[in-house]
Amino acid sequence: MAHAHHKIDSNTVDFQVDPVVLELGQRFVDAGHELSLVGGPVRDLFLGRTSPDLDFTTDATPDQTVALIKKWADNFWEIGRAFGTIGMRKSGFQIEITTYRAEAYDPESRKPVVAFGTSLTDDLLRRDFTINAMALRLPSLELIDPFGGVRDLNAAVLATPASPEASFSDDPLRMMRAARFASQLGISVHDDVRLAMSQMAERINIISAERVREELVKLICGAHPRVGVDLLVDTGLAEFVLPEVSALRLESDEHHRHKDVYQHSLQVLEQAAALETDADGAVPAPDFVLRFAALMHDVGKPATRRFEPGGAVSFRHHDMVGSKLTAKRMKTLRFDNDTIKAVARLVELHMRFYGYGDAGWSDSAVRRYVADAGPLLDRLHRLTRSDVTTRNQRKAERLAFAYDDLEDRIAVLREQESLDAVRPDLDGARIMAILNLRPGPVVGRAYKFLLEERMEHGPLQPDDAEARLHAWWAEQPEAAPPVPEAAEPPADVELSPNEESK
């Protein structure tokens, strides 16, 4: 990070801000108000990054702000007005201007209690961290840094302007944000912050699942996700947010018969992130689905651990158990169904490759691997390769060689067959025409049979496929000729009373 490599001297920093920022500042000053660029955009100026989203703070009320910008902005909206925020767009920038606040959370509620303030310093005091509590007064570009944000950027440490207890009481989500910033910026947290996170971890329960999820996604997609996850686990926050990951810290037995599943999972997460490709590649970075599957891939191990006779440890079916646990946790965190299915499927499939190197696979098995992975195949390749953390160089090389071989086999079969969309050689309409069937479950069974044939034997000629379909159909109960019903007795035959009652 920029701050980790050279000292920042705020006296010599030449703040390059867009003319739009200066123009907006001048409008407020001319009307007798204060306006400052604040928070993330100011921090990013020190880190040499620019953002199209700009946050400002002012002593003007929301009404006064609207009056000043409504003719100047390209468009504006008042959706955050109750919190003192007016949003707008201007020259490609998304801008939010918020009236100085003295905000507190009701300890028992998720909703902030908003009180407008009159002082920039008081407004900065109630922000989450010192590195986000700096302001650039406009249009003079004077840096306002009452709580040592530049100092903490230089030290690469996260601290709070007020006491961490007061800050986290105001908004417990800030504890998640601490872990997120640790991941994004690769910085450590101040001892006081870490202690407050540990003592107040349970308070995260009053925050909505959606807000927790948003921070978690940013953390997992950060440049240093291992740092962020480790902070969640160390402080006990993960017990409430991702308890399955905390549970990976299996107590080590005295004979060290298995490696540390938790540290292994963090390493797999790091290795998976390193295998992502650039935006034009198969898995553009950062990829939440791949990274989260890497973190969660072994969460089924604690529930399936068995000590076998002879001292071995087994984790049978931990892939299936882990897949279910992962889906359940993601539902609790209100992830969308597509994301849940993708991550859970990768966890379920992460062991499928093992055994390939020893036994070798038939073409049929390779086809099934591709078909089961579907659109997740490129991620599954990366997850499986990442899941090798052994220090045994020969074993690592053998697994890598085997996976290279599997990918080569997939490439060869792709050349010969359209592997990405393995379908039966006859479609539903053709099946119905050949067997003279109407749409219904039987057609589905016939389709499934032909799909199995396609998996097992590769593409078939139409005549061959048709012959196999006929052979299959001959063995189905529906294909048997109907049994004739018992003939009615002739009308002139009288039934005896005994026969009538039968």
Longest alpha-carbon distance in the chain: 119
For residue 99, the cross-strand partners are 58
Distance CA 215, CA 221 (A): 10
458-473 confidence digits (pLDDT tens)? 888 888 888 888 888 8
Q: What is the dihedral of CA 131, 138, 64, 134, to 10 degrees?
A: 10
* Side-chain-side CA neighbours of residue 229 (13 Å): 29
Q: Is 406 helix (H, G, I), strand (E, B) or coil?
A: helix
Q: Which pLDDT band holds residue 453 (cuts at 50, 70, 90)? A: confident
The torsion region of residue 334 among left (phi > 0), alpha (psi -120 to 50) and beta comes to left
Asked if residues 216 and 183 have their Cβ atoms less than 8 Å apart, the reply is no
DSSP 417: S
Residue-wise pLDDT for 187-238, tens only, equals 999 999 999 999 999 999 999 999 999 999 999 999 999 999 999 999 999 9
Q: Which helix (H) or strand (E) holds 97?
A: strand 93-99
Is the model's pTM score more than 0.85? no
Cα gap 239→260, rounded to integer Å: 18
Better pLDDT: 461 or 290: 290
* 257 alpha carbon, distance to own chain's centre: 32
Amino acid, single-letter form, for residue 414: R
Residue 488 pLDDT class (50, 70, 90 cuts): low
Residue for token pair 């920093």: 13
Which pLDDT band holds residue 381 (cuts at 50, 70, 90)? very high
Q: Which segments of 60-138 does DSSP mark as H helices, in order?
A: 62-69, 120-125
Percent of the chain with pLDDT over 90: 59
d(CA 171, CA 232): 17
Q: For residue 415, what pLDDT band results from cuts at 50, 70 and 90?
A: confident
- pLDDT attached to residue 121: 94
**254 band by pLDDT with thresholds 50, 70 and 90:** very low
Is residue 123 helix, strand or coil? helix
In which band, very low, low, confident or very high, does the pLDDT at 102 lie, cut at 50, 70 and 90? confident
Residue whose token pair is 């009481």: 169
Parallel/antiparallel/unpaired status of strands 313-315 and 93-99: unpaired
Overall size of the chain counted in residues: 502
Tell me, what's the pLDDT at 484? 59
Question: Quick check: 340 and 329 in contact, CB under 8 A?
Answer: no
